[in-house]
Chains A and B, each alone.
Chain A
Amino acid sequence: MVEEMTPRERFRKVMEFKKPDRLPWMEMQLDATTLRWIREGLTIDHVVKTRYDLIWNGSLLIVQPLPYTFDVSEYFGFIPLLNPETTIMIDLGPLPRYTSKILRSTEEKVLYRDPLGGKMEYSKDDYTMPRFIEFPVKNIEEWKEYKSRLDPTDPRRYPKDYTREQYIELFEEAITPTSLMVYGFYAFGRSMMGTAAFIPAFYTNPELVHDMMDTYADFLVEALKEIVQTLKSHIDWVFWHEDLSYGGGPNISPKLFKEFILPNLKKVTSLFNKNGIDLIILDSDGDPRPLMPLLWEGGIRGTWPMEVNAGMDAVELRKRYGKTWRFLGNIDKRVLTMRKEAIKYEIDKKLPYLKEEGGYIPGLDHVIPPDVSLENFTFYANYLKKYLDY
């Protein structure tokens, strides 16, 4: 009897345009959605994951299982896009952190200084993302201050349990895809200054933007060198977070990308490539298509989530680019709030062709949104599964 492939083996095969025993399926979960599904009947046993941790019990330090996250992947049978157990996250933030502090608290909202240097506000009554009130960098002086916190050799950047041997073993033996998550250049600039200030700064303050991009490239190469040279191709893919586009196209023009980002992107991706890591997947909402040739030139080899609403169509792009780009996602999340026929139609339209061509992993075109009912997601999961076997 032929042994079943692991999810990791399936992932690797598909990303090499080869056929595994079964197509893997990947999604990114959202706690707000899971909470909705619990209200709709999903039992806690299906979603709460525990792990053993050291806790204080009286005067004794003991080991006890503690709930630590919601996880619906096992129940539905998909692979979490970023599995916390096999995703290495090097701390690429400012060190030391800024002092976090509550600045104002009203009945509805809390304003606080974020440890990453900005000011944020969140509502007490919902699970939505906090709102940025102020970003860490507004001028060259603040950038210089922030820059002084970017020492790539600071040992705090690596996980506390990091030892070469242990991580090599962990990443060698993993049965789900292993990944490294990195904030890309646009994402870095946006998190420093906020979109509204960062984008015009390419024109209004080009020296600042150049310095930010160049500094960040050198910082990334130095900070990531240890893990990349240690794990090498045991890292299956790099999740390159950018979010550099919106529904109408890229946030920055190809001209700006070429001048400010491309040379720096190459610096970092060549570190990956030299160490046998070739699969670098762009995470960008919206429509990054006008940047795709430059992204490819910079070493990016795939993209997620491919929002249908923004005009992304994996079928059309596969036809245009052939077996080059790897695609993940691209199933219109909006159909999951519609009639079941719409869900079927969306899957039927894409899966047969993309599965046959290879280099594609199905999933929704972003996180599973909280307006999707448990009933509809269950229907989607079961219908999609019919297509997964080869």
Chain B
Amino acid sequence: MATQELISAFIALDYQKVKELVKEMLNSGISASEILKSMQEGMVAIGKKYEEGEYFLSELMAAGEIMKAGLEELMPHLIKGTMPSVGTVVIGTVKGDIHDVGKNLVKVLLQSSGFNVYDLGVDVPPEEFVNKVKEANADILALSALLTTTMNQARLVIEELKKAKLRDKVKVIVGGNPITEEFGKEIGADAAVRDAMHGIRICTEWVKGGRKWSKK
């Protein structure tokens, strides 16, 4: 009953109510992982509403903030390891580009979908992406580029991955306003998207049932 109320409050983007409900549920003995599951269910419903045109970027970003606030409450109660990661993503905005709103939104949505995310920030040089992919044993590399003048940096990152012999060990997704599918194909990315939710769907699909691409 309480979980249903939490899901409804989450979908209605009622920030205060979600925070109160999370506290109440914890106090009444409901496990943190159960509460997290409800919030994730709410997030999925919000994603659907966004894709159907009922919700907009504002609702998606608010949902991200509400999820963050809920997680803050839950964190001390979540025993390490009870939050199973569905995969590891390295994310960042390419060199020369300092836009981070889209990248940050994708990061929160990925975390909400159960991914372990390493955020390298903005203006990230290719070698930094490559080093982190290697170090974190990442499943997915997510590159963000908002400008026509910087999107070519994604190509350089992929070339660096090839040089480091990592290209077949990691899926690469490129996102941002000027990005097209053709561009993604041209530079050798596995996916190219302009919409955050579309990106999340692709990443979730990739890791569904375990990693299918080359083992490390």
Residues in chain A near residue B59, CB distance under 8 A? 203, 253
B58–A247 CB distance below 8 A: no
Alpha-carbon separation in the docked complex, A202 to B63 (Å): 11
Residues in chain B near residue A249, CB distance under 8 A? 56-57
Query: Which residue of B57, B62, B102 contacts A203 across the interface (Cβ within 8 Å)?
Result: B62
Alpha-carbon separation in the docked complex, A195 to B64 (Å): 14
Residues in chain B near residue A310, CB distance under 8 A? 177
B57–A200 CB distance below 8 A: no
Q: Nearest CB to that of B16 among chain A residues?
A: A204
Q: Is B25 an interface residue (CB 8 A)?
A: no
Contact pattern, B 125-156, Cβ under 8 Å of A = 1, otherwise 0: 00000000000000000000000110000000
B56–A204 CB distance below 8 A: no
Task: Given A131-B122, A204-B65, A370-B149, decide whether A196 and B101 contact each other with a Cβ distance below 8 A.
Answer: yes
Interface residues of B in 2-58 (CB under 8 A from A): 13, 15, 55-58
Question: Could you tell me which B residues sit within 8 Å of A by CB distance?
Answer: 13, 15, 55-59, 61-62, 64-66, 69, 96, 98, 100-102, 104, 122-123, 148-149, 177-178, 194-195
Query: Which residue of B65, B101, B195 contacts A195 across the interface (Cβ within 8 Å)?
Result: B101
Q: Is A342 an interface residue (CB 8 A)?
A: no
CB distance from B110 to the nearest CB of A (A): 16
B58–A253 CB distance below 8 A: yes
B13–A203 CB distance below 8 A: yes
Q: Is A93 an interface residue (CB 8 A)?
A: no
B66–A203 CB distance below 8 A: yes
Residues in chain A near residue B58, CB distance under 8 A? 199-200, 202-203, 250-253, 256
Interface centre among B15, B55, B57, B195 (most CB of A within 10 A): B57
Residues in chain B near residue A251, CB distance under 8 A? 56-58
Q: Is A369 an interface residue (CB 8 A)?
A: yes
Query: Which residue of A196, A333, A337 contacts B100 across the interface (Cβ within 8 Å)?
Result: A196
Q: Is A286 an interface residue (CB 8 A)?
A: yes
Query: Which residue of B62, B96, B177 contacts A128 across the interface (Cβ within 8 Å)?
Result: B96
Residues in chain A near residue B122, CB distance under 8 A? 131
Task: Given A199-B57, A248-B195, decide whether A309 and B149 contact each other with a Cβ distance below 8 A.
Answer: no
Q: Is A68 an interface residue (CB 8 A)?
A: no
Alpha-carbon separation in the docked complex, A253 to B98 (Å): 25
Alpha-carbon separation in the docked complex, A128 to B99 (Å): 12
Alpha-carbon separation in the docked complex, A371 to B151 (Å): 12
A334–B55 CB distance below 8 A: no
Q: Is A353 an interface residue (CB 8 A)?
A: no
Query: Which residue of B57, B64, B104, B194 contacts A250 across the interface (Cβ within 8 Å)?
Result: B57
